[in-house]
Structure formats: C-alpha cells, structure tokens
C-alpha cells in the first residue's frame, strides 16, 4: 500500500529461543486506528514493544514512513507509546512530564516550552500544566500521556491497554476521548487490547491474534458478520456451537464441520421450531439472557425487550434465517 505509514513485513517477534508471533504482515494507513486484539498471552504487547524498539525483532522488517527502522534504537524511531497506567512521573508536573524527552534530547529551553505549550493546547490541557498527576483526573492524565507521546513529533502512537484499569462508564468516555484526540491531532494509532468492545468501537481495522497467529484482519462488522475461523466466531460476540445433528435440524440441511449461532440470533416461539426447555433466565434490563436445553444440548439466547420466558417451560426454538456460521473444516 503506497500510503501506509507503518508496514510490518514478515515480522517475527518474541524472546531468545521463543518466537511469540511469526510472519506478521500488516500495512497501516496514515491516520488509521488499528487494534491488536487477542486473549491474554497471545503476543499483542510483544508486537507493540518490538515496533517501539523495546525488544529486538527476531526476523522480518518494520518500515515507518518509508524508512526501515527494524534495527534502530527506540529513541530514534518516530513512535510514541502510551502505557496502561500512563506511566507518568508522579513527582513531575504535567509540563515536566511532557517536556522530559525534549530535555533528554537537549533541546533549548524556549524550544521545549514552545513545543510543550503547542501540544498541550491541542490536547486541551494548558490549564493542567502545573499540576502533578495525582491531582489530575484519569482523563487528564491520559491526555498528558498522549501529549507526551506526541511532543517529539511522532505521527504514530502505540497504546498498550490504556483503558484496562478503568470501570465501564469511564472506559466508554475515554474511548471517545482518544478518538476525538486522534481525529483532531491526526495521529495513527496502534491500540493493544483484550477487550472486544474497545476494538469494535474504536477501530478502522482489527487484527485478531491467537496463539501467536493472526486469525483475521478486518473492520469490526466484517469480523462479526463474516468470521473467518471458529476462533473469531467464539471470541467476538457470544456464540453457541451447534452439535452437528442439532445444526442439521435447525438449518434444515446436512452440515459438515462446525456450526455456530450467536445468542441474539436464537429465536423463541419460532413457527417450525424445535422444543427447548428454559433452564435459567436472567433479566439484565435492556435484554434477558436465557439458558436453554434442546435435545440434550445447552444453548444460550439473548432476548431484547419484554420477552421473558417462564422458567421450566418448553418453547419453540429456531434461529434467524442466514444467521448461522458454518466452517467446513478447521483452516489451519
């Protein structure tokens, strides 16, 4: 891709004697928001740290803005990094935190002040510059961390789970905040998360890792609607795997391989359905979650609105037409 700002070419990452991710190929367009999503231990942080130069690549190439940076030390790569806890220096003010790298690089005082104020204005934290992190809100600390990552001129910011310590409400507003800063400041973001909501809500593209392999790369809708592998189908959203005989009955045709149906695609009260027993019902406000047993198999359903089947009753179970995902064989 001609307009990629960052390209990973057959990149191998890991540690001496242990390759964590092999043959990673990725082109990131200028200004894009790309998430690296995957379960714990799948290699997301290792990839990020290798891009930042905190770990040496085991093979392959990293090209940033047309320049090969694979062997450059971190300070000579034009990338900024924002960590989970923001990693601000607690005894320094916001100004000093943002200025730190410029001071290390021995910039002149006036130049440092000019650049810190410029980036602080863009991040809307000019009035916070004299404060220390402990007296700032989480959102303000996040902006300081982003300003610090941008001040040296980096156009690519790497985020390693910056939202993972936050409760659900704060997390939602922080997502919007990061997206707002991104669109105003125009940086390219590589965002590591194990949270599918982070990835689905923020990303232009999501790279899904599993056991050191890339399972699929695509936008959120594609991953959700057209999962390439059983892993994606189970990892994003909530899916029921259907045993082959049950799949055949529900789909009305012979099914080879593995079949899945998402819990919101299970229909109760279907016209030509299969009898299912209601084993458990949980009311969650906007929807209810229902555990069913059908022909000896467990199945979960999500019912929106007022649908609330009676515990122990028998209902007629079907699935929305076209909603099942079938995988002829494991693509390995």
Ligand X SMILES: Nc1ncnc2c1ncn2[C@@H]1O[C@H](COP(=O)(O)OP(=O)(O)OP(=O)(O)O)[C@@H](O)[C@H]1O
> Contact positions toward ligand X, by CB under 6 A?
15, 18, 20, 38, 40-46, 194
How far from the centroid of its chain's Cα atoms is residue 199's Cα?
3
Q: Whose CB is nearest to Mg ion?
A: 45
Using CB under 5 A as the binding criterion, the count of chain residues that bind Mg ion stands at: 1
Distance CA 267, CA 281 (A): 15
Q: Which does 15 bind (CB under 5 to 8 A by kind): ligand X, Mg ion, none?
A: ligand X
Q: Which residue has the tokens 């997502």?
A: 175
Q: Which does 194 bind (CB under 5 to 8 A by kind): ligand X, Mg ion, none?
A: ligand X
Q: State how far the alpha carbon of 28 is from the alpha carbons of 3, 57, 69, 204, 212, in Å.
A: 8, 18, 15, 10, 19
Q: Determine, following the binding rule CB under 5 A, whether residue 45 of this chain makes contact with Mg ion.
A: yes
Q: How far is the CB of 155 from Mg ion (least distance, A)?
A: 23
Q: Which does 43 bind (CB under 5 to 8 A by kind): ligand X, Mg ion, none?
A: ligand X
Closer Cβ to Mg ion, 95 or 191, answer by number: 191
| Helices and strands of the chain, counted as H and E runs | 9, 18
**Residues near 36 by Cβ (< 8 Å), separated by ≥ 6?**
44, 47, 48, 190, 191, 192, 193, 207, 209
Closer Cβ to Mg ion, 87 or 228, answer by number: 87
Q: How far is the CB of 145 from ligand X (least distance, A)?
A: 18
Closer Cβ to ligand X, 38 or 318, answer by number: 38
Q: How far is the CB of 168 from Mg ion (least distance, A)?
A: 20
Closer Cβ to Mg ion, 149 or 233, answer by number: 149
Q: State how far the alpha carbon of 307 is from the alpha carbons of 14, 135, 273, 285, in Å.
A: 49, 47, 17, 11
Q: How far is the CB of 45 from ligand X (least distance, A)?
A: 3
Q: At 236, list the tokens.
A: 């994003």
Residue 223 bridge partners (DSSP):
none
Closer Cβ to ligand X, 42 or 93, answer by number: 42
Q: How far is the CB of 77 from ligand X (least distance, A)?
A: 19
Q: Which does 232 bind (CB under 5 to 8 A by kind): Mg ion, ligand X, none?
A: none
How far from the centroid of its chain's Cα atoms is residue 42's Cα?
13
Q: Which does 325 bind (CB under 5 to 8 A by kind): Mg ion, ligand X, none?
A: none
Contact assessment for residue 117 and residue 110, using Cβ atoms and an 8 Å cutoff: no
Q: Which does 40 bind (CB under 5 to 8 A by kind): ligand X, Mg ion, none?
A: ligand X
Closer Cβ to ligand X, 209 or 327, answer by number: 209
Q: Which does 38 bind (CB under 5 to 8 A by kind): Mg ion, ligand X, none?
A: ligand X
Q: Contact positions toward Mg ion, by CB under 5 A?
A: 45
């Amino acid at each position: 891709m001609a307009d990629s700002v960052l390209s990973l070419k057959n990149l191998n990452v890991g540690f001496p004697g242990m390759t964590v991710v092999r043959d990673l190929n990725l082109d990131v367009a200028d200004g894009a928001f790309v998430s690296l999503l995957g379960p714990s231990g799948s290699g997301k942080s290792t990839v990020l740290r290798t891009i930042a130069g905190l770990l040496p690549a085991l093979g392959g190439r990293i090209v940033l803005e047309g320049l090969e940076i694979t062997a450059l030390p971190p300070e000579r790569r034009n990338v900024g990094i924002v960590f989970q806890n923001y990693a601000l220096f607690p005894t320094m003010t916001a100004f000093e935190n943002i200025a730190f790298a410029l001071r290390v690089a021995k910039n002149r005082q006036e130049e440092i002040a000019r650049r810190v104020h410029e980036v602080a204005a863009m991040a809307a934290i000019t009035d916070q510059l004299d404060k220390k992190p402990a007296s700032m809100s989480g959102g303000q600390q996040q902006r300081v961390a982003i300003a610090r990552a941008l001040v040296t001129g980096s156009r690519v910011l790497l985020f390693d789970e910056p939202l993972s310590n936050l409760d659900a409400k704060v997390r939602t507003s922080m997502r919007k905040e990061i997206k707002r800063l991104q669109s105003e400041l125009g940086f390219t973001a590589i965002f590591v998360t194990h949270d599918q909501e982070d990835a689905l809500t923020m990303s232009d593209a999501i790279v899904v890792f599993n056991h050191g392999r890339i399972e699929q790369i695509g936008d959120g809708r594609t991953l959700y609607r057209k999962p390439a592998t059983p892993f994606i189908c189970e990892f994003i959203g909530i899916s029921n795997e259907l045993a082959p005989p049950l799949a055949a009955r529900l789909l009305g045709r012979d099914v080879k391989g593995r079949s899945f149906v998402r819990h919101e695609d299970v229909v109760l009260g279907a016209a030509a359905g299969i009898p299912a027993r209601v084993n458990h019902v949980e009311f969650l406000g906007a929807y209810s979650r229902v555990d069913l047993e059908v022909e000896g198999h467990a199945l979960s359903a999500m019912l929106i609105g007022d649908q609330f089947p009676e515990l122990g009753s028998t209902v007629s179970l079907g699935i929305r037409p076209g909603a099942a995902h079938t995988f002829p064989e494991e693509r390995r």
